[in-house]
Amino acid sequence: MSLSSAQTVNNYLSLVKFSHTIFALPFAVIGYFLAIHFTANVFDLKLFGLIILSMIFARSAAMAFNRYIDKHIDAANERTAVREIPSGVVKSSSALVFVIINCILFVATTYFINTICFYLSPVALAVVLGYSFTKRFTALCHLVLGVGLSLAPIGAYLAVTGKFNILPILFSFAVLFWVSGFDIIYALQDEEFDKSIKLKSIPVVLGKAKALTFSSLLHIISALFIIYAGIYVHFGIWYWLGTIVFIGLLFYQHTLVTPNDLSKVNLAFFTTNGVASIIFSTFVLIDMYINR
C-alpha cells in the first residue's frame, strides 16, 4: 500500500471514528455466544466473521452519514471544525459515496447470514442513519443513538438462531441506557453552541447539572438490566465480577465530569466506556465457557 493510499484509509477510519466500534462490538460478541451457549448451535467462524463485518459496515455507514449530514454544523462549531469534511480532508461527495457503499455491503452481508437478518437490514439502517436527524427536533436524540447500538446483541443472536429471545433483549436494553447516558456526557461540550443554533439535546433542555443527573439515572437503569440478566440465567462468579467492574466504571466516569469542569469528558466518554465494554464482555464469555 502506497503512502497516499494508507493516508486515505486513515482519513476514512478517522471520519467514522473506527476506534469507537469498541463500544457495541463486544456486546455483539456476547449476543453471538449467548446463542451458542443456550441453544444447540455450534461455533461457526464464517458466520462469526459475517456478524463482525455487518457491524462494521452498519456503524461505518451511520458515522459517515452523521458527518455528512452535520458538515455545516461541524464547520460552524470550533470544537468540530477540524473534522475531516469541514477541514477538507475528506470531500463531502466522497463521504456520501462511502455511506452508500457501506449500506450496500451491510445489506449484502446480512443476505449471507439468514433471511430474517436480511429482511430486517433496512430497518436497522433506518435506525442508525435516522439518528443523525434527531437532534434537530428532539432532545431524546441520545436515546435514539442508544437504540442504534443496542441492536448489536439482538442482531448477533438473530444471526445464529433466526429467533428473538429475552436474554439478548435484556443486554440490548443495558446497551441502550448505557450508551444514552454517556452520550449525554459527551454532549455537555456543545451545550452553548447547540443552544445558539437551536439544536436539541438533554444538556440544552436541562442544563449541565441536571443533564449529568439524568445521565446517572440512565446508567443506573443500565446496571439494573445487567444485574437482572445475570439473575435471569443464573450466571456464575465471573459474570458478577465483570458486572462489578462494569458498574464501577459507570460510576467512575461520573466522578470525572462536573458542570464546571469538562476537561475529562473524553476520558469519561471513550477510555472508561471502552474499557468497561471489553472487560465486561470478556468476563461474560469466561463465565459461559467455564459453565458450559
What does pLDDT average to in each consecutive run of 10 residues of the chain (292 residues)?
68 72 90 93 95 94 94 95 92 94 98 97 96 96 96 96 95 97 95 96 97 97 98 95 97 93 84 92 92 60
Give pLDDT, residue 19: 65
Separation CA 35–CA 29 (nearest Å): 10
Q: Which CATH architecture has domain 3-290?
A: Orthogonal Bundle (1.10)
Virtual torsion, Cα 42, 60, 103, 80, nearest 10 deg: 160
> What pLDDT, on a 0 to 100 scale, did the predictor assign at position 9?
77
261 phi/psi in degrees, rounded to 5 = -145, 100
| Closest-CA residue to 58 (of 159, 137, 138, 182) | 159
Contacts of 69 (CB under 8 A, 6+ apart): 132, 133
**Predicted pLDDT at 1:** 56
Residue 254 has, within 13 A of its CA and on its CB side, a CA count of: 20
pLDDT at 292: 56
Distance CA 160, CA 186 (A): 34
